[in-house]
Structure 1
């Protein structure tokens, strides 16, 4: 039966997430802009953006979905330029506007390909029949275009610069963007996951580009000092990781990642004003910097926990996911093994119990989320191994940057990472060629000069 809107259990869960984030951000904005004469204009744009996101979620027609997708971008543009006199906000809006138009054209192309293949604009019917047309040219084109749209929406390299510079916008905008809107790329692929799964070429395309982007942006974030900029780079890395999970067919893990990242980033941005106090408190506490042997011990403990969990629940079906969870648990256990004193054993026991609890929670959540997104797709062992290798590289390079910064190649790597791999400068130049602005050209020249000075 034809219907413009469709609410499934997955969409209902996403609507709940949007409601929680929306209420929190609107309430924060109401207080934060209490002395702002343009508070009403800001809140209207904020509510319009949230409404457009809701329409994207519940749409069951290709044309309505596309129109709502465009509306989200246009409403967000108004929020980014709430303070139009800020040059960096103008630059972010410039880049975002052009990239949004490109992604909308690509999305339109994907939808045209899907319509030509299935002769229907009803999304639920397309998704239901996707497996029947596996390997067809139209479906492959649609899957590749959808992957490109997701990569742009999730601010993956080299089209990431706007997400970094949008921190010039008010804090509620950053919270909404990083906790919600950038997730739309992942949500798009989750909604059309049968289309993506029917095209191995698109899955490989997504895994390679998002995987490399995740590795580089994750390393770049370790070189940043500004809290909001660090969070922005982290968002790009986390979104890339979510896309990698989708490309590998780990839909349950991607959905769990989406929810966890949304809540974490909204809290981080809205609470960013207290970060300095937390940093000073940590300094006064006199924490001990972990040594390499502490990392080895933490990795060993985490590996034992994963081995027990796998023996009991057989929860790990992906090498890349196993490596990722291994490193995450190691980082969790690390503080407890970094300092040896009278309270070391109880502290280690508590951290291991907490890590075991998180593993149990992950297993439970993965089981229940399978009812929303279906079971994971068949895993490509080569893609899985490639991603696992990227995770190992990310971990090894992070350790090198932290413990051996005096080595010449590590110094060169740090300079390259500190400059954001120089990718955004070229993107900025291209943006200003396509859409010139005298004030932004001056800003771009100043930034380019600063990058060259730092490189020297």
Structure 2
């Protein structure tokens, strides 16, 4: 039976996530804007944005999905410009607006290609027909277009600048954006995973572009001092990682990643005001920097844990996923093996117990989320190996930046990363050349005038 809306177990989980994030962010906003004259306007825009995201999730028609997708962007635009006098917010909104319109055009083109191939706009019925298809030129075109839309939505390099500059917007906007809205790129690919699975070209496009973005954005985030800017770069990196997981067919890992990232980023942004307190507490506690031998020990312990889990449950089916979990567990364990004192053994035991619990949770979630997706895509060995190599590179370069900062090539790398790889400058110039912003130019002129008066 034809229906404009559809709620599946997967969508129900996503709706639960949206509900938790929505209630938390709205409640935070109600308190944070208690002295703000425009609180009502902000809350209305916030609720409209959340409602549009919900509509994207439950849509079961290509046209309705596209309308909801556009609505999310337009509502977010109002939130970004809540303080229109801020030049960086103006720049972020300007770039975001242009990229959003382009991605919406690509999404519409992908939907037209799918409709012309299968002659139905019902998404549920469409995916059933795609599952029975062996692939075609139209299907490949649609998959590539969907991949490009996801790359833009997830703020992958070089289309990431607006996400970094949007930190000028109020904190609840950053929390909603980083914890929810940028995830829509991954959600889009999960909903249309059968289409993506039939296009090796689209998968390789995601692996290459999102993989490189993951590495660069992740390394750039380590050079940032501003908490919100560091988190923004981290989001770009994490979204790239999620897209890579989807491209490899690791849908259950991508889902788990999506949920974990959403909760982490919403908490991190809403709690960003306490960062100074956390920093001072760490300093007062006598924070000890782990040495290479500590990392070696942590890597060995985590590798043994993964080997045992693989022996018992055969949980790891991908080299890239194995490497990712290995490094993640090592990062969790290394603080406990760094400091040796009277409480070392209990602390290490608790950490290992916690790490074992996380590995068990991953095993459990992987199995059940795989059933939830109901799609088994063959793993591309070469893509999997390439991504594993990227993860090794990220880990090695991170250690080099941390432990050998005075080596010449590491210095050069740090300067390049500290400049954001110089990518956004070119993107900004191109954006303003294609579509100049008179309001932004007026704000910049006013700022220059104010600075000149202050100096005089």
TM-score, scaled relative to structure 2: 0.96
1:441 shift after superposition: 5.0
Alignment of 1:261-276 (within 5 A): 261-276=261-276
**Structure 2 Cα separation of the partners of residues 245 and 191 of structure 1:** 14
* Map of 2:260 onto structure 1: 260
1:438 shift after superposition: 5.0
Instruction: State the Cα deviation string for residues 318-350 of structure 1 (Å, max 9, x = none).
Output: 000000000000011101111223332222222
1:376 shift after superposition: 4.1
1:69 shift after superposition: 0.3
In the alignment, is the contact (CA less than 8 A) between 2:183 and 2:258 conserved in 1? yes
Q: Structure 1's 372 and 444: CA in aligned 2 closer, same or farther, altered over 3 A?
A: farther
Alignment of 1:128-277 (within 5 A): 128-277=128-277
Q: Structure 1's 221 and 292: CA in aligned 2 closer, same or farther, altered over 3 A?
A: same
In the alignment, is the contact (CA less than 8 A) between 1:310 and 1:316 conserved in 2? yes
* Map of 1:23 onto structure 2: 23
**Structure 2 Cα separation of the partners of residues 439 and 97 of structure 1:** 14
Alignment of 1:32-431 (within 5 A): 32-431=32-431
**Structure 1 Cα separation of the partners of residues 83 and 59 of structure 2:** 32
- Name structure 2 gaps, 5 residues minimum: 446-456
Q: Structure 1's 195 and 346: CA in aligned 2 closer, same or farther, altered over 3 A?
A: same
Alignment RMSD? 1.5
**Structure 1 Cα separation of the partners of residues 360 and 126 of structure 2:** 36
**Structure 1 Cα separation of the partners of residues 269 and 128 of structure 2:** 38
1:374 shift after superposition: 1.9
* Map of 1:435 onto structure 2: 435
**Structure 2 Cα separation of the partners of residues 14 and 357 of structure 1:** 24
1:298 shift after superposition: 0.5
1:375 shift after superposition: 4.7
* Map of 1:4 onto structure 2: 4
In the alignment, is the contact (CA less than 8 A) between 2:83 and 2:89 conserved in 1? yes
Which segments of structure 1 move beyond 3 Å, counting only runs of 4 or more?
438-445
Instruction: State the Cα deviation string for residues 267-307 of structure 1 (Å, max 9, x = none).
Output: 11011001110111011100111111111011000000000
**Structure 1 Cα separation of the partners of residues 92 and 141 of structure 2:** 30
Instruction: State the Cα deviation string for residues 219-240 of structure 1 (Å, max 9, x = none).
Output: 0000000000000000000000
1:371 shift after superposition: 2.5
In the alignment, is the contact (CA less than 8 A) between 2:87 and 2:444 conserved in 1? no
Instruction: State the Cα deviation string for residues 137-196 of structure 1 (Å, max 9, x = none).
Output: 000000000000000000000000000000000000000000000000000000000000
SS in 2 for 1:97: helix
1:444 shift after superposition: 8.4
**Structure 2 Cα separation of the partners of residues 421 and 441 of structure 1:** 25
**Corresponding residue pairs, total:** 447
* Map of 1:14 onto structure 2: 14
SS in 1 for 2:132: helix
SS in 2 for 1:356: helix
In the alignment, is the contact (CA less than 8 A) between 1:87 and 1:439 conserved in 2? no
Q: Structure 1's 393 and 441: CA in aligned 2 closer, same or farther, altered over 3 A?
A: farther
SS in 2 for 1:368: helix
* Map of 1:453 onto structure 2: none
TM-score, scaled relative to structure 1: 0.96
In the alignment, is the contact (CA less than 8 A) between 1:109 and 1:142 conserved in 2? yes
1:443 shift after superposition: 8.3
**Structure 2 Cα separation of the partners of residues 93 and 58 of structure 1:** 27
* Map of 1:454 onto structure 2: none
In the alignment, is the contact (CA less than 8 A) between 2:222 and 2:230 conserved in 1? yes
* Map of 2:454 onto structure 1: none
Q: Structure 1's 221 and 71: CA in aligned 2 closer, same or farther, altered over 3 A?
A: same
**Structure 1 Cα separation of the partners of residues 6 and 292 of structure 2:** 52
In the alignment, is the contact (CA less than 8 A) between 2:178 and 2:266 conserved in 1? yes
**Structure 1 Cα separation of the partners of residues 335 and 10 of structure 2:** 37
SS in 2 for 1:342: coil
In the alignment, is the contact (CA less than 8 A) between 1:432 and 1:441 conserved in 2? no
